[in-house]
A = this chain, B = another copy of it.
Amino acid sequence: MGCSLKPTEVIQSVLAGRTFQPAKAEGKAFAPVNIALCKYWGKRDTALNLPVTSSLSMSLGAIGAHTRIAPVDGPDQVWLNDEKLTDADPFVSRLRAYLDLFDPAQHYTIHTASDVPVAAGLASSASGFAALVLALDDLYGWSLDPTSLSILARLGSGSACRSIYQGFVEWQAGEQADGMDSYAVRLDADWPALRIGWIECSSAPKPIGSRAGMKRTVETSALYAAWPDQVARDLAAIKQAIAQHDFEALGSAAESNALAMHATMWAARPPVSYWLPETVVTLRAVWQAREQGLPVYATMDAGPNVKLLYLADDRERIRAAFPQLHEVSPA
């Protein structure tokens, strides 16, 4: 519906006359990592990162990206976890391409510290772009509302729009061609006992990036046609489960959703496969533990690693069953 806009036009519309006059010497912000319980997989607009379906995530409290940004006259200078990156680094070129949408003439010194291993598949780009947008807002004193910040973050990385918030967050897909109705909202719910951890199956680079994997799936997987129905079913079940603190309903819907996302990839041509043998080992261990009475469910993103969902009361049993678990949710 409506007419599409270029990313620069979206930004101009969102900023609504706000300027690039620094309000302070340096902007600072933090944004949390988010883990999707109902996945974002497939774009209806690649320039604006507009999704085919809505999605729902859980933010990870104090785990995320801390970013400081200050204007400079010279070339950009980017530090990641206190290491200065070269201009050839893909992280730098992606940041620069994004900042070009705001003001191609303005360069910056940027420091980003990430609490999560980049290789963990813990959506470091989501927290990174959300923190960057929040830091720009701080630097320039824009005082944008969360919806506007979410739209700006989406232009950097789709799932970044969810990292504007803590708690349970729904990215509403929207219907408009300009994407002005495609942003995240925080659900009025909390569930302090819910825990997330992850098991590393590989730290090697992924054989295909998630953007490319998503694109090939949408373009070539016959099964992708059924993905929106899967999401509609899972999203409703997950929202109800969160409202009722029904862990089994949450876990089974989230696990099914993640497996179905990977299933759409297996049916792509050629197949998009992030799975390693260790992935199957881990999934089978989760199912076996569950059969033996331990309430634990798996979720996966576009990588080989497996995240576990469990409840705080089961933490010791979970740690005994999965000694290699990295606990990442708020303790």
A binding-site residues for B, Cβ under 8 Å? 221-227, 229-230, 233, 252, 255-256, 259-260, 262-264, 266-267, 269-271, 273, 275-281, 283-284, 287
A280 CB contact (under 8 Å) in B223, B227, B276: B276
Q: Which residues of B contact A269 (CB under 8 A)?
A: 252, 256
Q: Are B223 and A264 in contact (CB under 8 A)?
A: yes
CA distance A154 to B225 in the complex (A): 31
Q: Are A260 and B230 in contact (CB under 8 A)?
A: no
Q: Closest Cβ of chain B: how far from A224's Cβ, in Å?
A: 7
Q: Which residues of B contact A224 (CB under 8 A)?
A: 226
Q: Which residues of B contact A283 (CB under 8 A)?
A: 273
* Other 13 A-B pairs with CB < 8 A, given A223-B227, A230-B267, A273-B283: A222-B227, A222-B229, A222-B233, A223-B226, A225-B229, A252-B269, A263-B266, A263-B267, A273-B287, A275-B280, A276-B280, A277-B277, A277-B278
CA distance A186 to B263 in the complex (A): 32
A263 CB contact (under 8 Å) in B223, B255, B279: B223
Q: Which residues of B contact A284 (CB under 8 A)?
A: 273
CA distance A277 to B283 in the complex (A): 10
CA distance A284 to B281 in the complex (A): 16
A259 CB contact (under 8 Å) in B226, B260, B267: B267
CA distance A275 to B266 in the complex (A): 13
- Residue of A221, A226, A255, A281 with highest tally of chain B CB at under 10 A: A226
User: Given A252-B269, A269-B252 in contact, is the A260-B222 Cβ separation under 8 Å?
Assistant: yes
CA distance A69 to B222 in the complex (A): 45
5 interchain pairs, CB-CB under 8 A? A222-B227, A263-B264, A270-B287, A276-B280, A277-B277
Q: Closest Cβ of chain B: how far from A147's Cβ, in Å?
A: 30
Q: Closest Cβ of chain B: how far from A279's Cβ, in Å?
A: 7
Q: Which residues of B contact A227 (CB under 8 A)?
A: 222-223
CA distance A221 to B260 in the complex (A): 9
Question: Residue of B at shortest CB range from A281?
Answer: B277
- Residue of A223, A233, A266, A287 with highest tally of chain B CB at under 10 A: A223
CA distance A271 to B222 in the complex (A): 19
CA distance A267 to B265 in the complex (A): 12
A226 CB contact (under 8 Å) in B226, B233, B252, B287: B226
Q: Are B260 and A267 in contact (CB under 8 A)?
A: yes
